[in-house]
Amino acid sequence: MKAHIVLAHPEAKSFNGHLSDISRSVLRSAEWQHTMSDLYAMDFDPREGAHHYKSRQDAKAFHPQTEQRFNADNQTTPTDVNTEAQRLLECDLLILHFPLWWFGPPAILKGWMDRVFVYGRLYRSTMRYDTGICSGKRMIACVTTGASSDNCAYNGREGDTHLHLWPVLYPFRYLGFDVLQPEIFHGVGSAAFLEGREDGLSTLDTYADRWTISLETLSSRSTVRYNRDDDFDETKRLLPDARAYSPFIRHKPDAMPD
Ligand SMILES: Cc1cc2nc3c(=O)[nH]c(=O)nc-3n(C[C@H](O)[C@H](O)[C@H](O)COP(=O)(O)O)c2cc1C
């Protein structure tokens, strides 16, 4: 079995860096092959743009999807993107490590998605959602927040972290992945952590143990529920009798899902 780890944090000594070390060690013990992309260490350029493409279908105006597809068809995808795309296509399990930054992923991770999810190679209209190229693969996001679990709860002032993660995880569903319930460690930015206090350090140890166990028991972890392709009509609206799983795809504009 093969896993690919993606770390989006500028500091290897951060808690996210530590969690990614745990991932590697657990995978090693389980005799999984694995690769890792430490996006900052690689100096991965998250900006999709004309500067990446030597060969262009349209030299006058840069249309990202046109050039992604043209270069994929001609096997001239930029080398950094090609390596990442290949790792996604070869892995059975993808693990993402990132901190929540302004209620979303760090920009480097969003840019990695913008560039690596190559149109024409990783998705096209006939190859997405239920027919996605990554069908049968699993992915899990391991996320840290600075705010406490109460603050990040469904009724917390920071808003529900599970909802903040929906737009981050849905692209992986788009590619066909089985998206496992994310692992979220709250309160990692509190004073207790930053000052290295005993209570902060012991919580980090507890979190590290929890992540180890989560990885070791991944086969029994539930997945995020999404609508299947046949839950939608020909206009791609949710069918009246289909279940709504999130406020992002619901039956009434002003209502929460049942
Ligand atoms: C630019 C930036 C934005 C942040 N935004 C949030 C946020 O929206 N919600 C939150 O709970 N914490 C936020 N934080 C705190 C980080 O999530 C927290 O420091 C991190 O999860 C701790 O993990 P680390 O030690 O691996 O960096 C932010 C931190 C930075 C640097």
Average pLDDT, the chain: 96
Q: Which of 12-21, 70-79, 132-141, 188-197 has the lowest mean pLDDT?
A: 188-197
Question: What is the C-alpha to C-alpha distance for residues 6 and 13, in angstroms, rounded to an integer?
Answer: 16
Q: How confident is the model at residue 201 (pLDDT cuts 50, 70, 90)?
A: confident
The domain segmentation of the chain, as residue ranges, is 2-226, 228-258
For residue 17, give the ligand 1 atom closest to its CA: 26
Measured in Å, residue 165 CA sits from the centre of ligand 1 at 14
Q: Which of 67-76, 102-111, 174-183, 197-206 has the lowest mean pLDDT?
A: 197-206
Measured in Å, residue 100 CA sits from the centre of ligand 1 at 5
Question: What is the C-alpha to C-alpha distance for residues 15 and 29, in angstroms, rounded to an integer?
Answer: 21
Kindly report the protein residue whose alpha carbon is nearest to atom 27 of ligand 1.
14
- Identify which of 108, 115, 104 has the alpha carbon closest to the alpha carbon of residue 39: 108
Name the CATH superfamily housing domain 2-226.
Flavodoxin domain (3.40.50.360)
Measured in Å, residue 70 CA sits from the centre of ligand 1 at 38
Q: Is the pLDDT of residue 244 over 80?
A: yes
State mean pLDDT over 186-205: 81
Residues near ligand 1 (Cβ within 6 A): 9, 14-16, 99-103, 144-147, 158, 188-189
State mean pLDDT over 23-49: 98
Give the up-direction half-sphere exposure of residue 21: CA atoms within 13 A in the CB hemisphere: 10
- Identify which of 149, 167, 172, 187 has the alpha carbon closest to the alpha carbon of residue 103: 167
Q: Report the SS3 class of residue 127.
A: strand
pLDDT digits (tens, 9 = 90+) for 129-182: 999 999 999 999 999 999 999 999 999 999 999 999 999 999 999 999 999 999
Question: What is the C-alpha to C-alpha distance for residues 115 and 232, in angstroms, rounded to an integer?
Answer: 28
What local confidence, expressed as pLDDT, does residue 255 receive?
Answer: 67
What local confidence, expressed as pLDDT, does residue 226 receive?
Answer: 98
For residue 15, give the ligand 1 atom closest to its CA: 26
Say what the pTM is. 0.96
What local confidence, expressed as pLDDT, does residue 258 receive?
Answer: 55
What local confidence, expressed as pLDDT, does residue 254 receive?
Answer: 84
Percent of the chain with pLDDT over 90: 91
Which mutation among 101, 158, 160 tests ligand 1's pocket best, with the greatest number of atoms within 8 A of CB?
101
State mean pLDDT over 12-22: 95
- Identify which of 12, 14, 28, 3 has the alpha carbon closest to the alpha carbon of residue 144: 14
Q: How confident is the model at residue 98 (pLDDT cuts 50, 70, 90)?
A: very high
Q: Which residue has the higher pLDDT, 217 or 255?
A: 217
Measured in Å, residue 72 CA sits from the centre of ligand 1 at 35
What local confidence, expressed as pLDDT, does residue 256 receive?
Answer: 66
